[in-house]
């Protein structure tokens, strides 16, 4: 018995000693001097959940796209770190004078991982399976993203002009169309592989991308290997492993132990520790999202612009960022995040000014305030990590100007159903951009067209001037001209104040300092073709 106790004691002591010892050992290694990308190596990317499927047309979740983005290419792609579009599988394209025909010149000599040649037929196949109900593989859907972006209504037909030329005929001019083609759902799939694997294609994806699928262990890891015949830059890695580690702190510990090279969704509490760790580098960028409080204009008293402005003066956004987002958020003043072109930085945000708010309320006929409801989402979203907490802060802030808030919440599905039809007076919601085009925020979330139940515009703000600007911006193809229209629209939005914009979250990706060339894409993609590690 005694021996056991002594043994246990020794064990604990050794553990404690070794623990202390290893703390000292982890001195920063001299950064490897390097002149350029080095070939080879295996990179492990730890993320919070598994991909649902790897057919980019079928899926809607980010985890699925993390996988499919490595395997597939799109006709056009976003320049690294921006929302600007450049050629990918299409080398160039031109638009007809009436804005109805996009003709793409495809990259010659590209092959899918299964050896199938990439050509105009493959392009037509990839789109027709999502839009043509008589297509043999249409039933592989539902094609949720294709439908969600309204592509069925935008594309009239896809015409194969010749082997390396394909033409998209649109039903009406739609400037954001080109950005839609850079999205994951618009990836080009191997027609041979779809026919071969049929319903099992989402587990056996075949594209033209920088990596090929080797194996997929459910809820554990996806192993990819370099496509040696890749047409573009890279890949430099031999293999890329996407590993699932659901708990944020466990992900951080795995990074610290050197078991993984790069992690997703770090927890706010661990960020400080990581910032202090010489072996870890934090890569940050403002996310492509906005979290807001929408005021329902169909509910009294929010039809009055003075009341809406008063809310904007009375809510202290800094306090919300500090209390809820920490370093993972920045104050929002516009409906689009600063990473999107046409962001109007000349707009002066409403300052925190309760006196001004009271004054406006008095003018509007509410000198003693009023009672209303504020809806808080039950789930954490990228744009709003804790709606309930924000609601409580807002409740306290508005109480100060005499506005009494009742906080309302439902399960997520019901919440969306009820806000869609405008049962709320004030509701929190947000949006994560799809294609990096301002249209995807401004038209979708705020135009009068979107204020029809089930509505995306849950303020039910129907401003004709604003809506006309957004419609015109769809028809004009010159980006500078479009940017002017959106800048103007943001001014109207600011004056009319249908929302209290709250925050844009900041995306942080912690990496080991042996990892180089990793860039955060505003659209949320994780791209590894240009990433390399010290050998």
Partner 1 sequence: MIRYILRRLLLLIPTLLGVLTIVFFMVALSPGDPARVMLGERASPAQLETIRAELGLDRPLGEQYLNYIFRAVRLDFGRSIKTGRPVMQEIRELFPATVELALVAMVIATSLGILIGVLSAVKQNTWLDYTSMVGALTGVSMPVFWLGLVLIMIFSVGLGWFPTGGRIEVRLFFEPITRLFLIDGLIVWIRDGDSAYLQSAIRHIVLPAIALGTIPIAIIARTTRSSMLETLRQDYVRTARSAGIPEKRVIFRYALKNALLPVITVIGVQFGLLLAGAILTETIFAWPGIGRWIYTAISARDYPAVQAGVAVVSTVFVLINLIVDILYSVVNPKIRLQ
Q: Residues in the site for partner 1, rule: CB under 8 A?
A: 1, 15, 18-19, 22-23, 42, 44, 49, 52-53, 58, 60, 142, 144-145, 147-148, 199-200, 202-203, 214-215, 217-221, 223, 241, 243-247, 249-250, 253-254, 256-257, 259, 410-414, 416-417, 429, 431, 454
| Least Cβ distance, residue 8 to partner 1 (angstroms) | 10
| Least Cβ distance, residue 225 to partner 1 (angstroms) | 10
Q: Which is nearer to partner 1, 38 or 60 (CB)?
A: 60
Q: Which is nearer to partner 1, 174 or 270 (CB)?
A: 270
Place of tokens 């202290």: 316
| Least Cβ distance, residue 415 to partner 1 (angstroms) | 9
User: Would strands 262-263 and 42-47 be described as parallel, antiparallel, or unpaired?
Assistant: parallel
| Least Cβ distance, residue 120 to partner 1 (angstroms) | 29
| Least Cβ distance, residue 369 to partner 1 (angstroms) | 31
| DSSP letter (8 states) at residue 384 | B
| Least Cβ distance, residue 506 to partner 1 (angstroms) | 20
Rounded distance between C-alpha atoms, residue 84 and residue 77, angstroms:
8
53's tokens: 């499927």
Q: Which is nearer to partner 1, 91 or 247 (CB)?
A: 247
CA distances from 89 to 79, 80, 112, 165, 352 (A): 14, 16, 12, 11, 49
| Least Cβ distance, residue 294 to partner 1 (angstroms) | 13
| Least Cβ distance, residue 284 to partner 1 (angstroms) | 24
Q: How far apart are the first and last CA of the chain?
A: 51
| Least Cβ distance, residue 293 to partner 1 (angstroms) | 16
Q: Which is nearer to partner 1, 23 or 162 (CB)?
A: 23
Q: Which is nearer to partner 1, 50 or 496 (CB)?
A: 50
| Least Cβ distance, residue 509 to partner 1 (angstroms) | 19
If we measure between CA atoms, which residue out of 168, 145, 143, 138 comes closest to residue 156?
A: 168
| Least Cβ distance, residue 35 to partner 1 (angstroms) | 27
* Torsion over CA: 112, 117, 118, 122 (sign): negative
Q: Which is nearer to partner 1, 455 or 492 (CB)?
A: 455
| Least Cβ distance, residue 250 to partner 1 (angstroms) | 5
Instruction: Decide if 447 contacts 495 (C-beta within 8 A).
Output: no
88's tokens: 């990918």
316's tokens: 């202290």
Instruction: Decide if 119 contacts 163 (C-beta within 8 A).
Output: yes
Q: Which is nearer to partner 1, 52 or 362 (CB)?
A: 52
Instruction: Decide if 244 contacts 221 (C-beta within 8 A).
Output: yes
Q: Which is nearer to partner 1, 96 or 414 (CB)?
A: 414
If we measure between CA atoms, which residue out of 408, 40, 447, 98 comes closest to residue 239?
A: 40
Q: Which is nearer to partner 1, 241 or 321 (CB)?
A: 241
| b/e sequence 163-177, b meaning 16+ C-beta within 10 Å | ebbbbbebeebbbbb
Neighbours of 7 (CB within 10 A): 10
Q: Crossing angle, helix 479-496 and helix 439-446, to 10 degrees?
A: 40
If we measure between CA atoms, which residue out of 320, 367, 345 comes closest to residue 505?
A: 320
Residue 430's SS3 state is strand
Q: Which is nearer to partner 1, 104 or 127 (CB)?
A: 127
Instruction: Decide if 314 contacts 397 (C-beta within 8 A).
Output: yes
Q: Which is nearer to partner 1, 254 or 509 (CB)?
A: 254
DSSP letter for each residue of 216-245? EETTTEEEEEE-TT-SSS----SEEEEEE-
| Least Cβ distance, residue 221 to partner 1 (angstroms) | 5
Q: Which is nearer to partner 1, 399 or 421 (CB)?
A: 421
Rounded distance between C-alpha atoms, residue 499 and residue 294, angstroms:
4
Q: Which is nearer to partner 1, 58 or 167 (CB)?
A: 58
| HSE of 459, CA atoms in CB hemisphere, 13 A | 27
| Least Cβ distance, residue 220 to partner 1 (angstroms) | 4
Rounded distance between C-alpha atoms, residue 55 and residue 60, angstroms:
10
69's tokens: 């983005």
455's tokens: 């509505």
DSSP letter for each residue of 329-363? EEE--SSS-TTSTT--TTPPPPP--HHHHHHHHHH
Instruction: Decide if 408 contacts 373 (C-beta within 8 A).
Output: yes
Segment (H or E) for 420:
helix 412-420
Q: Which is nearer to partner 1, 246 or 278 (CB)?
A: 246
């Amino acid at each position: 018995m005694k021996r056991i106790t002594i043994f246990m004691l020794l064990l604990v002591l050794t553990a404690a000693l070794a623990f202390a010892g290893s703390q000292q050992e982890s001195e920063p290694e001299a950064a490897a001097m390097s002149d350029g990308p080095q070939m080879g190596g295996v990179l492990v990317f730890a993320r919070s959940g598994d991909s649902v499927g790897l057919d980019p047309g079928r899926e809607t979740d980010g985890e699925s796209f993390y996988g499919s983005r490595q395997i597939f290419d799109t006709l056009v792609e976003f320049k690294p770190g921006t929302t600007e579009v450049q050629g990918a599988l299409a080398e160039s394209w031109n638009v007809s004078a009436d804005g109805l025909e996009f003709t793409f010149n495809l990259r010659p000599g590209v092959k899918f991982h299964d050896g199938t040649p990439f050509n105009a037929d493959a392009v037509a196949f990839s789109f027709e399976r999502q839009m043509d109900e008589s297509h043999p593989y249409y039933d592989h859907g539902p094609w949720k993203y294709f439908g969600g972006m309204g592509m069925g209504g935008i594309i009239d037909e896809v015409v194969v002009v010749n082997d390396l030329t394909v033409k998209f005929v649109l039903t009406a001019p739609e400037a954001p169309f080109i950005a839609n083609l850079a999205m994951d759902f618009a990836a080009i799939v191997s027609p041979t592989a779809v026919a071969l694997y049929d319903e099992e294609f989402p587990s056996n994806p075949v594209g033209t991308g920088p990596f090929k699928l080797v194996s997929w262990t459910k809820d554990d890891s996806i192993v990819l290997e370099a496509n040696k015949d890749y047409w573009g830059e890279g890949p430099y890695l031999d293999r890329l492993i996407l590993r699932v580690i659901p708990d944020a702190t466990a992900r951080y510990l795995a990074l610290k132990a050197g078991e993984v090279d790069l992690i997703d969704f770090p927890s706010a509490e661990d960020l400080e520790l990581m910032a202090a760790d010489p072996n870890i580098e934090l890569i940050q960028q403002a996310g492509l999202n906005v979290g807001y409080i929408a005021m329902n204009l169909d509910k009294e008293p929010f039809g009055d612009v003075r009341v809406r402005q008063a809310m904007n003066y009375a809510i202290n956004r800094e306090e919300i960022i500090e209390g809820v987002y920490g370093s993972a958020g920045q104050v929002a003043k516009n409906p689009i995040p600063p990473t999107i072109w046409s962001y109007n930085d000349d707009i002066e945000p409403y300052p925190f000014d309760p006196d001004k708010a009271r004054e406006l309320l008095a003018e509007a006929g509410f000198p003693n305030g009023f009672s209303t409801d504020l809806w808080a989402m039950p789930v954490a979203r990228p744009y709003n990590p804790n709606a309930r907490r924000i609601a409580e802060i807002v409740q306290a802030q508005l109480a100060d100007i005499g506005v009494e808030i009742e906080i309302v919440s439902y399960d997520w599905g019901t919440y969306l159903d009820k806000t869609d039809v405008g049962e709320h007076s004030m509701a929190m919601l947000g949006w994560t951009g799809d294609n990096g085009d301002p249209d995807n925020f401004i038209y979708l979330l705020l135009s009068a067209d979107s204020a029809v139940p089930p509505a995306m515009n849950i303020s039910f703000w129907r401003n004709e001037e604003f809506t006309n600007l957004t419609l015109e911006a769809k028809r004009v193809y010159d980006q500078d001209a479009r940017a002017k229209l959106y800048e103007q629209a943001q001014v109207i939005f600011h004056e009319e104040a249908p929302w209290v914009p709250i925050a844009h979250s900041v995306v942080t990706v912690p990496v080991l300092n042996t990892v180089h060339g990793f860039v955060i894409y505003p659209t949320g993609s994780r791209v590894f073709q240009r990433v390399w590690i010290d050998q």
